Amino acid sequence: MQLSDISVLVRDKSLAIQGMIPDQDLDLQASIDHNGVGSWKLNLSAVHPMAPVLRTPGSGLIVVGPDGENLFSGPTDKPELSISADDPSGTVTFQGVTDNVILGESLAFPSPALPTSGQTEANDTRTGPSETLMHAYVNANIGPTATTGRRNTNLVMGANAGRGTVVTKAPRFQVLGELLAELAIEANYPLGFRVVQRGGSLAFETYQIRDRSAEIRLDALNNTLASQKVSQSPPAITVAIVAGQGVGKDRQIREYHTAEADAAGALWGRRIERFIDQRQTSVEAELEAAGMEPLQKEGVTTLAVQATPAEDSSMNFLTDWYLGDRVTVVVEGQELVADVTGFVFKVDKDGFRLGAVIGDPAGFSAEAAVSNRVANTEKRVSSLERNDAPGSTGGGSTPSADKAALKTSDTTATNTTTLATDAALSITGIASGNYIFDAMIVYSADSEADFKAAFLGSAGIANLIHLNLREVATGAEHGVVEGGAAFTAAGQGAGTKRSMQLTGSFTNSSSSQSLSFQWAQRTAHASTVAVHRGSFVRIQKV
């Protein structure tokens, strides 16, 4: 690929093209990662017509390659002006990232169709082909079907071919880009994904990674490489130890292997174990997927190659082989197979240089190795934080079956006798077993409307029975309520708080069930009925 194959366009915040930077003015370098966020840096004279545009927040670049294909696009993050005696007009250094950054800045909500403060599910559990799930999670969280506040109005969805293995995912506030990377690995043959500008929109696209190892054979001796630098190291993992739900001796512990990881371990004479915390799930398929992901990605001899394709090679990078593709590299006469994990290029007064990164970039760069370790640590800590949150399907040192819901703000209703679920007093992700529960409900209602409530269990919950102790003007009343039937309590005037105490039991024959508290007026009335903050529901497995 030559300099004449590259065009660099400047866009504004609305993604409208404002101009182009001519070849003679280009001083650009970029590092683009497979299924990750790339970076770029551009030096430009402060008096260049495009400099004011790029100094405006929200602006960015589009880099167009051969045949008019957009290689990447992305926003400006940091413009920096420097002036010196030798450069009185000044030079602006623009640093930016690729548009994949929007995936790294967004979370996969447990109830993406609801407002942030109205989440009703512990996890957004979906099952389907990997590619279909990738599109579904993006669409639901930041795409056209996302809630108004979270939707990226510039984002459109590319084609979904339904490729990949059928898997189950259950994110809870997981970084969207991290979730997509996991799904891409779990396909029968890994998928690629990207966000790139198409016309006046940003498109989320997925594409099939190709096994080109039989056709693309990179070797300095056959004129396909101008230069190469190679490093090999042992696998990062050969055995995955995955821990699911439970505590202590009762916790689910599973061990997973792959033939490739076992072979790599035997080659280097090492057994390399990794503990993977999956306390948020008891589903065997999800535990297996969590173990297989690092084994497939890191359970092989690590090959790192920095390669500069020959300019007159018949195997053209970006057209014949691309990001994610599997290729063959000849190292000291031995053929090794590895994936293309990134590419770098630089354009300046000295010309155009392009390099491909094959295998693990951390094999050469201490900075990349540290970055990988930090990213892995952040991912694990984030998972602990998400799954230890109240209402999640995890639970720290407390058994995951013991859960509680606390109401932190008042909720009101008028003119309704239809029972409505109070999301703040509902518990989801209940594992199978026998439970006892208790609740304190602080309510207020007009005496002409009174108060009506019920507990609603999902499909697996049965034998629901509780004792209802409720406060009235002259003392207390109680009664036994079975099967989720509605019960009532007297109101003493709108705004006058009364309480009811509930204690009972139920059985759950399935996993991931829910128990919801519902309430309304007993008689429809224009006065206000309310359930007040401080009310709670809690369950305990016995």
Give the tens place of pLDDT for each residue, 244-259: 888 778 888 999 999 9
The model's confidence at residue 311, banded by pLDDT at 50, 70 and 90, is low
Q: How many C-beta atoms lie closer than 10 Å to residue 331's C-beta?
A: 15
Per DSSP, the three-state class of 431 is: coil
Stretch among 20-24, 53-57, 454-458, 475-479 having the lowest mean pLDDT:
475-479
52-66 confidence digits (pLDDT tens): 999 999 999 999 987
Highest-confidence segment of 102-116, 314-328, 400-414: 102-116
Contact of 359 with 341, CB cutoff 8 Å: yes
Q: How many C-beta atoms lie closer than 10 Å to residue 363's C-beta?
A: 20
pLDDT at 520 over 80: yes
Phi, psi of 511 (to 5 degrees): -105, 160
| DSSP assignment letter at 57 | T
Tell how strand 201-208 and strand 155-157 pair up: parallel
Burial class (CB in 10 A: 0-12, 13-18, 19+), 47: exposed
The reported pLDDT for the residue numbered 469 is 67
The reported pLDDT for the residue numbered 131 is 95
Phi-psi region of 475 (alpha: psi -120 to 50; beta: other; left: phi over 0): left
The model's confidence at residue 9, banded by pLDDT at 50, 70 and 90, is very high
Rounded to whole angstroms, the Cα distance separating 95 from 171 reads: 32
pLDDT at 397 over 80: no
> How many separate helices (H) and strands (E) can be counted in the chain?
7, 36
Burial class (CB in 10 A: 0-12, 13-18, 19+), 82: exposed
Task: Identify which has the larger pLDDT, 394 or 267.
Answer: 267
The reported pLDDT for the residue numbered 360 is 56
The reported pLDDT for the residue numbered 234 is 85
The model's confidence at residue 331, banded by pLDDT at 50, 70 and 90, is low
Q: Is the pTM of this model over 0.75?
A: no
Contact of 456 with 500, CB cutoff 8 Å: no
- What percent of the chain has pLDDT above 70? 83
Contact of 400 with 510, CB cutoff 8 Å: no
Phi-psi region of 384 (alpha: psi -120 to 50; beta: other; left: phi over 0): alpha
Number of residues that make up the chain = 542
The reported pLDDT for the residue numbered 66 is 78
| DSSP assignment letter at 141 | H
The alpha carbon of residue 427 and the mean position of all alpha carbons in its chain are separated, in whole angstroms, by: 24
Stretch among 264-268, 299-303, 306-310 having the lowest mean pLDDT:
306-310
Buried b (16+ CB within 10 A) or exposed e, 296-321: ebbbbbbbbbbbbbbeebebebbebb
As a three-state string, the secondary structure of 354-404 is: EEEEEECHHHCCHHHHHHHHHHHHHHHHHHHHHHCCCCCCCCCCCCCCCEE
Rounded to whole angstroms, the Cα distance separating 293 from 379 reads: 14
Phi, psi of 148 (to 5 degrees): -55, -45
The model's confidence at residue 76, banded by pLDDT at 50, 70 and 90, is very high
Distances (CA, A) of 436 to 401, 404, 536: 11, 12, 14
Mean pLDDT of the chain: 82
Contact of 258 with 296, CB cutoff 8 Å: yes
Task: Identify which has the larger pLDDT, 207 or 227.
Answer: 207
What is the average per-residue pLDDT within 502-525? 86
Rounded to whole angstroms, the Cα distance separating 260 from 168 reads: 24
Rounded to whole angstroms, the Cα distance separating 417 from 144 reads: 35
Task: Identify which has the larger pLDDT, 497 or 399.
Answer: 497
The reported pLDDT for the residue numbered 319 is 74
Amino acid at 382: S
pLDDT at 205 over 90: yes
- The residue with tokens 């999800």 is 286
Rounded to whole angstroms, the Cα distance separating 329 from 92 reads: 39
What is the average per-residue pLDDT within 72-101? 91
Nearest Cα neighbor of 128 from 161, 184, 168, 158 is 168
Rounded to whole angstroms, the Cα distance separating 253 from 255 reads: 7
